[in-house]
């Protein structure tokens, strides 16, 4: 677990693991976890009733599919905040690296659970 006193190099953090859809927490800010994740392929449809969901693409492209709305196509340096309660599915045709911000304790698969549900892990 990284000490709060340290700075975080996002590229180094991302280079330290390869598993897809397995977020790694790199820092804490107030009650939030700051995490990096590698996305490959389709995640599960899910929503979070009690929090917005922050995505910033650091590398590659990420498509955030939304029910009943146009998809959001994110490239490097682009961010999107999925409003709470909105069902969404992150999809990366190729690998993408993404910065995530969520309250501590938020499940990555939201209301959906399932085999892609990941424990909260620090880098």
Tokens coding 73: 């196509």
Residue ranges that bind a copy of itself, judged by CB under 8 A: 4-5, 7-11, 26-30, 32, 34, 51-52, 54, 56, 58, 69, 72-74, 77-81, 83-84, 99, 101, 103
Rounded least distance, CB 73 to a copy of itself, Å? 8
In the DSSP assignment, the letter for residue 15 is H
Tokens coding 16: 């330290």
Rounded least distance, CB 27 to a copy of itself, Å? 5
Which of 58, 91 has the CB closer to a copy of itself?
A: 58
Which of 34, 118 has the CB closer to a copy of itself?
A: 34
Q: Are the C-beta atoms of 37 and 98 separated by less than 8 Å?
A: yes
CA distances, 1 to each of 35, 114, 119, 120 (Å): 12, 26, 14, 11
Question: What is the residue whose two structure tokens read 């975080």?
Answer: 8
Rounded least distance, CB 75 to a copy of itself, Å? 8
| Apex 32 CA angle, 72 and 119, nearest 5 | 85
Which of 10, 112 has the CB closer to a copy of itself?
A: 10
Which of 83, 105 has the CB closer to a copy of itself?
A: 83
């Amino acid at each position: 677990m990284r000490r709060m006193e340290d700075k975080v190099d996002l590229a180094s953090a991302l280079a330290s693991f390869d598993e897809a859809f397995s977020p790694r927490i790199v820092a804490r800010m107030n009650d939030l976890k700051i995490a990096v994740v590698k996305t490959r392929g389709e995640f599960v449809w899910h929503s979070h009733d009690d929090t917005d969901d922050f995505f910033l693409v650091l590398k590659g492209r990420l498509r955030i599919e939304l029910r009943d709305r146009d998809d959001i196509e994110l490239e490097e340096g682009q961010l999107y905040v999925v409003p709470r309660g909105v069902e969404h599915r992150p999809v990366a045709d190729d690998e993408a690296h993404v910065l995530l911000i969520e309250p501590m304790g938020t499940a990555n698969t939201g209301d959906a659970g399932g085999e892609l549900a990941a424990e909260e892990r620090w880098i």
